[in-house]
Structure 1
């Protein structure tokens, strides 16, 4: 199923592929950049994994058929990362949760849509019936994107995130039920 190539709105070709161990250094650099350019991510720049931890994390994904880590690249630059964790218990093995990020200068080009579409296709092929996520209530762009794919708000975690300024933010729980 991977790699995939998708033409995005600015005419560039987005390569969507599974992450590999040799991506670790670039993924650490990517995460340091994206966590410093937006408050919509839970991870802060000082919490980004080091390269050896990132390698272990990638291996964990590669060795588990119920996990998926996708990298979106344009001209060999990592511009997006999506990670999906399928639940492991018998009664919830049909469920998985994902997170996604896109470099800010690439927002609005359809990269998030391409990555999510790839995930949904993969999840259907792997017998998942429910994909869920958590998103900051203030992240209207992301919420709109998820709704475009049919995700629905199912609930809210109040004061779930403590922001740098000392204020709290609610998190929305959203899910998509697959055929």
Structure 2
């Protein structure tokens, strides 16, 4: 689904949050690769499950036409610095829910981009009769967990020793959900 563009200014950084467009496909491919290499908070290491420009074009087309999926990007001076998706599915028994995922370049952490992605996604979900938003978050990502709790998400479960990180230790993944 396509949403209206919103402008933000946080600590002198001007950015906009808008729906992903076909012209963003190559930049999204590069952005996702870079973000995956900057943090261990996400599922992939750099280069895993790589999506090229054509792959992103397919995702953007599908998401734009879907009533229960939204794909947002954050843009600073014409450059993409983050993205988020709420992905639904067509299965009748789970068509009432979407899964939220987000990635922001490390240099842009602390400017409310992730928070604004979340706020826009919640607003979209509430307006479109989505009853539940789910997400997965690494137990060590305390800032994200606090943010999600502040927006009505609750821990619904824990996947024990779910992720093996570069320190050769296993970490839990929290399953969180927000009901509308």
- Same fold flag (TM > 0.5): yes
Which residue is 1:156 aligned to? 158
CA RMSD of aligned residues (A): 1.4
Task: Show the 5 A alignment for 1:11-160.
Answer: 11-47=12-48, 48-160=50-162
Counterparts of 1:4 and 1:109 in 2: how far apart (Å)? Answer: 15
Which residue is 1:171 aligned to? 173
| Deviation, structure 1 residue 132 | 0.8
Provide Cα deviations, 1:95-116, integer angstroms capped at 9, x if missing partner. Answer: 1111011111111111111111
Counterparts of 1:120 and 1:160 in 2: how far apart (Å)? Answer: 27
- Structure 1 segments of 4+ aligned residues over 6 angstroms from their partners: none
State the TM-score, normalized to the length of structure 2.
Answer: 0.92
Provide Cα deviations, 1:34-60, integer angstroms capped at 9, x if missing partner. Answer: 111111111221122122222222222
| Deviation, structure 1 residue 11 | 2.3
| Deviation, structure 1 residue 165 | 4.5
Counterparts of 1:164 and 1:60 in 2: how far apart (Å)? Answer: 34
- SS at 1:133's partner residue? strand
Aligned residues: 177
In the alignment, structure 2 segments of 5+ residues that lack a partner are: none
State the TM-score, normalized to the length of structure 1.
Answer: 0.92
